[in-house]
Each structure stands twice: as structure tokens, then as C-alpha cells.
Structure 1
Amino acid sequence: MRLLIINPNTSAHVTRALGEHIAPMLGQGWQLDCVTARFGAAYIASEAAYAIAAHAVLDAWSSQGGSYDAILIGCFGDPGLEALRELAGCPVIGLAEAAMQEAAKAGRFAIVTGGARWAPILQRRAAAAGLQDQLAGLLVLSESGAELLADPARALTRLEGAARQVRSESGAESVIIGGAALAGMGEALARRLPFAVIDNVSAAARAIRTAASRPAPAGPDGAGYHGLSPELLARLQA
């Protein structure tokens, strides 16, 4: 089984962290190919960076060649998710969608993540998944995930306080800790808090294990593309 992990930002250390967290969860029988965006933001922190990341996801996928049994978009916000699903011909998993779908099984959920401009992006992602009514609360810390990761001990304290606050205010059954750079921190908090906490990267790994459908690519759309990489252009015209 082959899994392609695409990090839509240009921070290679986040790519490594994703692979290191997911590989043991999938176990033997999986080959992981991890790729970092060739262009874009070091950390996605705005609508503009998010839009660029969606292009970077398609570019990264097309540059790999070959076929995969599943693809993971390693960003809590899932840029390019629908577009890649249209093209890839295999299950495409997003960190945010996977975590929200898992949390929604237990009822209403809240989210804690880093990056001041992420709230509307995540609200749209919940709506796209049909889960807007189950999103009970959203607490966005001013620090980005990368800034939180620079001091893991302080990050855990900040995230714990935020999780307690958003659950108290929202009455949610569970709290998602979102952010590719924060892989594993949700699990650490789950051992410290008296309510359900979902680590977004771990939820995505579980979704990969159970993904079974292999949708057929949509095929060419007849659009006249200009200025794209030859690899992406070939995929769009296949």
C-alpha cells in the first residue's frame, strides 16, 4: 500500500513530523512518500496563503508520478481537497475533515488551533463536510502551529488552557487539536484532560486505514490552461 503525504507549506520539518507520526500508526505494509510544497508559504496563515497552497497541493501530487492507494493533505484546513479528489483516482484525506468526521460521531465538537486568521477557513471546511451544525466552538490562538512547536512544553500548557476554555464555553462533547505541526499534542492532552480530545493527525491516520473507495478521475474538463507545470498540465489533460 502506498501513501502520499503532501505538506502544502514549504516547511520540510513539518513534512518529517507528519511522516514520523503516521508511519507507526499505519504499521507494516505501507510505503510512505512525503513531499513538501515547491512554492508558497512557510506556514499557511491567511486566505492568500491558503489559496496558493491549494495550487501547491496539485503541483506536488503531479510531480510525484505513479499511483497511490491514498493521499493525505497535511494541513489542518485541507487546501485543494476537492480538486485533488477530482483528479487523483484514490481516497484523498484531509486533516481537518478527518478530525471533524471522527469527532462528529460523538456529537458536537470544538476546535483549538493556532494562527489568527484560520477561523473562517475552518468554518467553511466544516460546512463543506456538512458538519457546520456540529461545530460548537472554535478557539484560535494567536501563535501559529510552527510558533507553538518551538516550545512544546509551553504549547501543551497553552493548548490545554484553550481546550478547557472552549469546551466550557461551547458544551462540546469533544475538542479537536488542529495543526499539522502539532501532531501528537492532541494525544498528549487526551491523557491530561477529563473529556475527549482528538489529535487531527492521528484522526487522519485512522481515516487512511479505513478508506476503501477508489473513485475514478473526473477526466479532462476542456479548459484551456496556461502557465502550469508540464506535469500538472499532463494530469489535467489525462
Structure 2
Amino acid sequence: MHVLLLNPNTRADLTDELVALVAPSFQDTGVAVRGATAPFGADYIASEQTYLIAAHAVLDAWHAHVQQHGRPLAVLVACFGDPGVWALREVAGVPVMGLAEAAMREAEAIGPFAIVTGGAAWGPMLERLARGLRLHGEQTPRGLMAVHTVAASGGALRAAPDQALAELSSACVDVVAAQAHRARSLDAVILGGAALGGWARRLAPVPSVPVIDSVEAGARWLRRVAVA
């Protein structure tokens, strides 16, 4: 028995790191965590064009994995933006989730939330995704209230972690402070990005709100659906 962590980015080293982050959740369960990497596309998705290509690559990676290893118990699409998730749900016959939806649903259970991530293009893309999931603040009082993007993409942030951690910590504090002056303050912040998995615990403390790591949220979902 196994679960699949499917990386829509083409970096196999990132796939290995993500599997290493998720695998401890399955210790002593008898369920293995296998990784699969997109066979084509961008090394790190950061635009509408690379997102669209990644959705196609997700389906190719799925079919190749099933041919080699059989059907998993569930699939976590390891991109904060969830390319190909709906198409994969249509064909997979097993539970499928993306990092963004997993983190947003976990945050919604706490209350109004914001997202901090890397790459300016992700702002409107994540707003659109939240609306499609009916998790936007315009649709529900416990939904997404703001997306704060730093200029560098997740891949670039990963390449300079000390500087990135300082920048992301400031972004989290800033988005909480900015929302505090509006009608609904924040109850949670999501740190989104496959390359930023495990980083939430390394950020400087954010006053009064928890920071949800999107990869860790995905791992929690994967364990819930795969291990009865």
C-alpha cells in the first residue's frame, strides 16, 4: 500500500525533499510514501503558462506511476496552486488534493485567513482558485481575505533561505497588521509553496495567529484519507 506525492514541478530533488517531509506522518502505518515528478514543464511553476503546462504533466506523471507501481490510496499534488487536480480527480478513482486547497480548508476551519507566498503572478491565480472552491472572503466570512506575494518565486526563495525567511516573516506580520484595520481581522496565515515546506516553523513569530505550512497541511490530509 502506498500514497503518491506528485510534484508538478520538474525538479526531482524537490520531490525527494517533499517525500522526506511527508513520510514521517506515515511511520508505523504500513503505508509507503512514493514520489513522482512532472516529466516536462517548468522547474518551478510561477506563471499562468507554466501552470497550464503543469496540469498536463500531472496527468502524464499519474499514468506513468500507475503503470509502474499500481494505483495509490490517495494523491497529493505538491504545488501551491493545484494544477491538474480537477482533471486528476476525474480519472484517478482515488482521493486527490492539492497543497492550496488542503491549506485553505484547514485555515477556514480556524477563521478568516490570508496567504503569503512567492511570485507576483500567484496573487490573482490564488484568488481565482479560492473563488472556485468557494473559500474566498467575498463568499464566506471565514474565507481568504488577502494574498500577499513577495517578488521572488518559491524556487528563488529556496535558493537564498536566510534572506527569504526574513522577507516571508515580514510579509506575514504585514498582512496581519494590514487586515487588522479592516472589518474582519485574520485568524490564520498560510505560508504557501512546495519549496517552502517545513519553513513555517522557522519564521519569526507572527503575533496572535498561527501560520499554516501548506506542505504540512497536505501531509495531514493525506494521512487522514489514507489511514483509517
TM-score computed with the length of structure 2 as normaliser: 0.89
CA contact (8 A) 1:175 1:196 kept: yes
CA contact (8 A) 1:9 1:36 kept: yes
CA contact (8 A) 1:137 1:167 kept: no
The equivalent residue for 1:138 is 147
| Corresponding position: 1:60 with 2:73 | no
2:200 alignment partner, SS class: helix
2:25 alignment partner, SS class: helix
The one-character-per-residue Cα deviations of 1:144-165 (angstroms, maximum 9, x if unpaired) are 1111111222211111000000
Aligned mates of 1:187, 1:26 — CA distance in 2: 20
The one-character-per-residue Cα deviations of 1:17-36 (angstroms, maximum 9, x if unpaired) are 11111111232322111111
The equivalent residue for 2:116 is 112
The equivalent residue for 1:219 is none
The equivalent residue for 1:183 is 197
CA contact (8 A) 2:74 2:226 kept: no
Aligned mates of 1:45, 1:124 — CA distance in 2: 15
Aligned mates of 1:137, 1:26 — CA distance in 2: 33
| Corresponding position: 1:30 with 2:31 | yes
The equivalent residue for 1:220 is none
Runs of 4+ in 1 over 4 A off after TM superposition: none
The equivalent residue for 2:18 is 18
1:132 alignment partner, SS class: coil
| Corresponding position: 1:193 with 2:185 | no
1:136 alignment partner, SS class: strand
The equivalent residue for 2:3 is 3
Q: CA deviation at 1:212?
A: 6.1
The equivalent residue for 1:163 is 172
The one-character-per-residue Cα deviations of 1:60-81 (angstroms, maximum 9, x if unpaired) are 0001121110101010000001
Q: Which amino acid is the alignment partner of residue 41 of structure 2?
A: G
The equivalent residue for 1:225 is none
TM-score computed with the length of structure 1 as normaliser: 0.86
Q: Following superposition of structure 1 onto structure 2, how do residues 85-104 of structure 1 map, counting pairs within 5 Å?
A: 85-104=89-108
- Uncovered stretches (5+) of structure 2, i.e. residues with no partner: 138-142, 180-184
Cα RMSD of the aligned pairs, angstroms, is 1.4
The equivalent residue for 2:125 is 121
CA contact (8 A) 1:106 1:174 kept: yes
Q: Which amino acid is the alignment partner of residue 171 of structure 2?
A: A
Aligned mates of 2:172, 2:5 — CA distance in 1: 28
Aligned mates of 1:131, 1:187 — CA distance in 2: 25
